[in-house]
């Protein structure tokens, strides 16, 4: 029965349940959607439609439970619908019709995603296929841990003149207090900043060692290294970074199991809950620091806060094209040139041609509209459909890294690729930036591979 939810049939069912969920949710859509909690039930219905196939696969213990499209479907719910389900805030800063259109855009994008999953996968890039096919035996993993740790920590040590106690003193401080903070326009030091991406891989390496060897002394050292790396990454306040790194580690641990009894699924679930709890804790301390948080004795948010993505998506739909033209190719250009160092291109764009905070009169803020909002900004509803379809195509292609025998010995590449797609639901920039972790993983593999060949 589990096979009925696999492959193209699963995509067809996902498209059908998402369509049905959207239609039912629209039938329940209130005339006044702006009060807090007004969209709780429509958002819940749509979320169940989007997540129907992943939930069915989980209940049936299907081997496809970790397929990329399941986690991308979760991304739709987490990044956009979760705040609505929780009734997190009022939506009176956007017009009612824009809220309705924003809701429709989420359902339409998710439907397009399932259509994309139904097709044949694209060819995996050669450089990615090479590292995915490299077997990860214990010796290689043990060699990669110190390499990734030292490279990942170098930025923090350099910024504090290698004064280790001083470096550690910034853990738990407000996000902008540390000397390794970087402005919007980076210089030559931007190259050093990129070294932290090597640290993104550490939790996955540690998870693989735990699954294969248990908690030996060397594994405990790897756990400690991962904990230190995560502490410094979290100091910057970027919750999605912790989500990607730890989420990938959870996926690696699950994939590395020879069997998945119910007890281990409980462990994985508990780890996921712990991750969400840690991300919420980061939100409460990142602007004031740990000491001030303890002094206040209360949390700023009494719900699992994500971002106000849905509200900002509705505002974009209200403004474009009525008050601002579509920015067309500029959003894609801005995203694709992100990896180009500004020292080589001083005139590189600093925005895609649309600044929502400035338009709303909110200075000093960065607002996320989700990737759906960015697609809409480009070419309207047509781009929303194409963007959702593209996410589905990428998810289908990522599954090749898990389904092909040659890639199963190295679950890290698949785990990172999937988490990149999930974080990419927040914005196109995150889709590109988080991909740097895959590039760092390729570089670390090349470094250690060259060393092995040199000693033979």
The half-sphere exposure of 91 on its side-chain side, counting CA atoms within 13 A, is: 32
Q: Is residue 117 part of a domain?
A: no
- Of the pLDDT bands very low, low, confident and very high (cuts 50, 70, 90), residue 288 is confident
Q: Which residue is associated with the tokens 């000093």?
A: 364
Q: Residue 252 has which token pair?
A: 């690696």
Summarised one tens digit per residue, pLDDT across range 101-129 is 999 999 999 999 999 999 999 999 988 88
Summarised one tens digit per residue, pLDDT across range 163-176 is 999 999 999 888 88
- What is the SS3 assignment for 121? coil
Cβ-based burial of 295 (10 A; exposed 0-12, middle 13-18, buried ≥19):
exposed
373, 356 Cβ separation under 8 angstroms = no
Sign of the torsion angle spanned by Cα atoms 105, 52, 245, 445: negative
417 has a pLDDT exceeding 70: yes
The torsion of the CA quartet 419, 422, 424, 427, rounded to 10 degrees, works out to -140
Question: Using DSSP, how many helices (H) and how many strands (E) does the chain show?
Answer: 23, 0
Q: Is residue 293 part of a domain?
A: yes
- Residue scoring higher pLDDT (367 or 363): 367
Q: Is residue 228 part of a domain?
A: yes
* Per-residue model confidence (pLDDT) at position 350: 82
- Of the pLDDT bands very low, low, confident and very high (cuts 50, 70, 90), residue 193 is confident
- Where do runs of H (alpha helix) occur along 286-308? 290-296
Neighbours of 258 (CB within 10 A): 5
55 closest CA partner among 75, 77, 70, 40 = 70
Domain count, the chain: 1
Summarised one tens digit per residue, pLDDT across range 208-249 is 999 988 999 999 999 999 999 999 999 887 888 999 999 999
Q: Is residue 410 part of a domain?
A: yes
Q: Is residue 212 part of a domain?
A: yes
* Per-residue model confidence (pLDDT) at position 364: 72
321 has a pLDDT exceeding 50: yes
Q: Could you give the maximum distance between any two Cα atoms of the chain, in Å?
A: 72
- Of the pLDDT bands very low, low, confident and very high (cuts 50, 70, 90), residue 188 is low
Domain with 229, as residue range(s), is: 126-303+405-423+432-455
What does pTM read for this prediction? 0.92
Distance CA 456, CA 447 (A): 15
* Per-residue model confidence (pLDDT) at position 121: 93
Summarised one tens digit per residue, pLDDT across range 140-166 is 888 899 999 999 999 999 999 999 999
Q: What is the mean pLDDT of the chain?
A: 89
Summarised one tens digit per residue, pLDDT across range 365-408 is 889 999 999 999 999 999 999 999 999 999 999 999 887 776 66
Q: Is residue 331 part of a domain?
A: no
184 has a pLDDT exceeding 90: no
1 has a pLDDT exceeding 50: no
Mean pLDDT of 404-428: 87
* Per-residue model confidence (pLDDT) at position 336: 87
Summarised one tens digit per residue, pLDDT across range 266-284 is 888 899 999 988 888 887 7
Q: Is residue 400 part of a domain?
A: no
- Residue scoring higher pLDDT (363 or 65): 65
Cβ-based burial of 453 (10 A; exposed 0-12, middle 13-18, buried ≥19):
exposed
CA 81 to chain centre: 15
287 has a pLDDT exceeding 80: no
Q: Is residue 200 part of a domain?
A: yes
């Amino acid at each position: 029965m589990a096979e009925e939810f696999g492959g193209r049939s699963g995509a067809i069912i996902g498209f059908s349940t998402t369509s049905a969920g959207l239609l039912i949710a629209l039938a329940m859509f209130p005339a006044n959607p702006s009060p807090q909690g007004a969209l709780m039930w429509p958002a819940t219905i749509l979320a169940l439609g989007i997540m129907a196939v992943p939930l069915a696969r989980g209940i049936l213990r299907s081997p496809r439970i970790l397929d990329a499209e399941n986690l991308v479907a979760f991304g739709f719910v987490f990044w956009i619908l979760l705040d609505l389900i929780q009734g997190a805030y009022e939506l009176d800063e956007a017009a009612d019709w824009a809220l309705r259109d924003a809701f429709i855009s989420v359902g339409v994008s998710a439907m397009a995603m399932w259509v994309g999953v139904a097709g044949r996968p694209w060819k995996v890039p050669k450089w990615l296929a090479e590292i995915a096919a490299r077997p990860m035996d214990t010796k290689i993993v043990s060699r990669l841990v110190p390499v990734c740790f030292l490279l990942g920590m170098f930025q923090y040590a350099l910024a504090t003149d290698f004064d280790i106690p001083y470096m550690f003193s910034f853990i738990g401080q407000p996000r902008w207090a540390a000397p390794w903070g970087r402005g919007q326009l980076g210089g030559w030091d931007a190259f050093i900043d990129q070294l932290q991406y090597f640290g993104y891989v550490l939790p996955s390496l540690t998870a693989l060692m735990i699954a294969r060897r248990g908690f030996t002394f060397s594994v405990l050292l790897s756990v400690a290294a991962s904990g230190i790396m995560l502490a410094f990454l979290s100091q910057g306040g970027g919750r999605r970074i912790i989500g990607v790194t730890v989420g990938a580690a959870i996926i690696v641990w699950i994939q590395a199991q020879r069997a998945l009894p119910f007890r281990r699924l409980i462990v994985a679930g508990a780890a996921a809950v712990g991750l969400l709890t840690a991300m919420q804790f980061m939100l409460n301390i990142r602007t004031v620091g740990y000491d001030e948080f303890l002094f206040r004795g209360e949390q700023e948010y009494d719900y699992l806060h994500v971002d106000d993505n849905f509200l900002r998506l509705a505002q974009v739909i209200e403004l474009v094209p009525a008050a601002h033209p579509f920015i067309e190719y500029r959003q894609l250009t801005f995203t694709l040139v992100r990896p180009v160092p500004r020292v080589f291109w001083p005139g590189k764009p600093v925005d895609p041609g649309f600044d929502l905070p400035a338009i709303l009169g909110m200075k000093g803020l960065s607002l996320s509209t989700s990737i759906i909002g960015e697609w809409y900004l480009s070419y309207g509803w047509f781009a929303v459909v194409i963007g959702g379809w593209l996410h589905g195509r990428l998810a289908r292609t990522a599954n090749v890294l898990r389904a092909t025998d040659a890639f199963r010995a190295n679950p890290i590449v698949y785990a990172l690729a999937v988490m990149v797609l999930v974080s990419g639901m927040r914005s196109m920039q995150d889709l590109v930036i988080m991909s740097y972790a895959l590039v760092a993983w390729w570089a670390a593999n090349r470094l250690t591979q060259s060393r092995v060949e040199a000693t033979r």
